Structure 1
Amino acid sequence: MINSIQAIVDAGETDVDNDFIEEEMAKITGRIDESLPDGSLMPIEDITLVLYDQDGEEVARTTTDSEGEYSFMVPPGNYYIQEIQPEGYLDVSENEGGADGEPVNPVPNRVNVTVVAGELDVSNDFIESLLSPTATPTPTAGPTATPEPTPVVKAENMEAEEITDRSVKLLWSDPEAGNESSFVIYANGIRVAVVGPNRREYTLAELEPETTYKFELIVYTEYDNYYFGYITVKTDKQGLGWLPAIYHMLD
């Protein structure tokens, strides 16, 4: 049992040196903010942070409050804080707080912390930027009597198949990191789907006919996210989505 000592004494005995030694806890604080276009910062609430000891064992975890702030109460020692990358944001920077001269941790969303008894180690901060892929302008479709081939204008790490007037099947290769937790698909700058880590294809439906879409793929891992690739596709003219099936039947 913590803070207890078993003592057995005989008649007339004086049992000495049953002592207790206490050590004052240290406090680690910081905040998480979103970097706005005007250069100001806005706090981000409910972001998870995990505190690990120097051996990589989890010590505690917490979340940011409405002011974007968080704190840990810990015994003296060497630690590091890992921010769980919030969905919809890109990592901008981390700040090693305190005045201990800890080496900068090279891992994204991670800061080193060294505290002594009674220390208040502040400003262990993280800054995020709202993810906003560049939108592709949607051209106005002009009337025409003859079908045109469906173009795949540009592509990077992605492919498109089964293109109709209302749907497109997207395919992508395995990310190099191999530790993805999800894929997020954007269509002309708007998030349209979140796909599980084991998927390498997804069919988008309810699209507009004869419209150019720029589909972008963002890869999320437990601690970070990054831009994976894009493909620009033009959907078929309205009512032509059935033609490939008819051609297949006639083969």
Structure 2
Amino acid sequence: KIGSDPDHDGDREKMLRWDMARIAAIHEAIGKRGTPYTANGKIPYYFDANGRYDSKDRLRRLLDHCAAIGALEQIAIVEEPFPEEYRVDVSDLGVRIAADESAHCDHDVAERIALGYGAIALKPIAKTLSMTLRIAEVAAKAKVPMFCADLTVGPIQVDWNKSVAARLAPLPGMTIGVLETNGHQNYRRWAELQQFHPAAGAEWTKVKNGCFELSPAFYEQSAGILKDSRHYSEVVFPQ
């Protein structure tokens, strides 16, 4: 995440300085590590601002800093840098800008693509599957890549997202698909929640070296998400 408010006073210059320092520290720590999952063999950076940057100029200053420290080429995407109402062409920023919160529907996506946005975050867990497919159709016709973003959901919803992500082409520069998931970092009882999954313990639910390995069974069983969860059935229909 970028766009921090370190002193809780809304000062965006402080935000920018904080982000610059944080990115520099992260790049110093892991920037030279290798990975087999990118075309350049380097760890990709995924920055999500959640609309905190108020201007293109301020974001450009952050990107200039990234270039100065050698991190720019490793930025895979910068997600939702600006407030939704800030409509400006982003095609000249030198990095792939992704729309997330501003992409409520297929019409929004068409507008963002026209403004130079180079990726679309899909959220079938939040924006409904039907709207997600309409959004994906618009992006696919424009040849704009997509990935699935999280909303800090539980294990079953992760596989709902994963079922869509597994059917998308990798982002440019990546050799595998991209799926954001952070529930395990935020839910205190994550291990217990995993047991409520209809396919609890299935290999595709386990993270291995930062990846989900999807076998034919994942596709054959639709990740298990179409089966009843005994736990949630009992919650909704108590005996």
TM-score bucket (shorter structure): under 0.3
Which one scores higher on RCO, CA 8 angstroms, separation ≥ 6?
A: 1
Larger fraction in helix:
2
TM-score w.r.t. length of structure 1? 0.22
**Which protein has the larger Cα radius of gyration, Structure 1 or Structure 2?**
1
TM-score w.r.t. length of structure 2? 0.23
Larger fraction in strand:
1
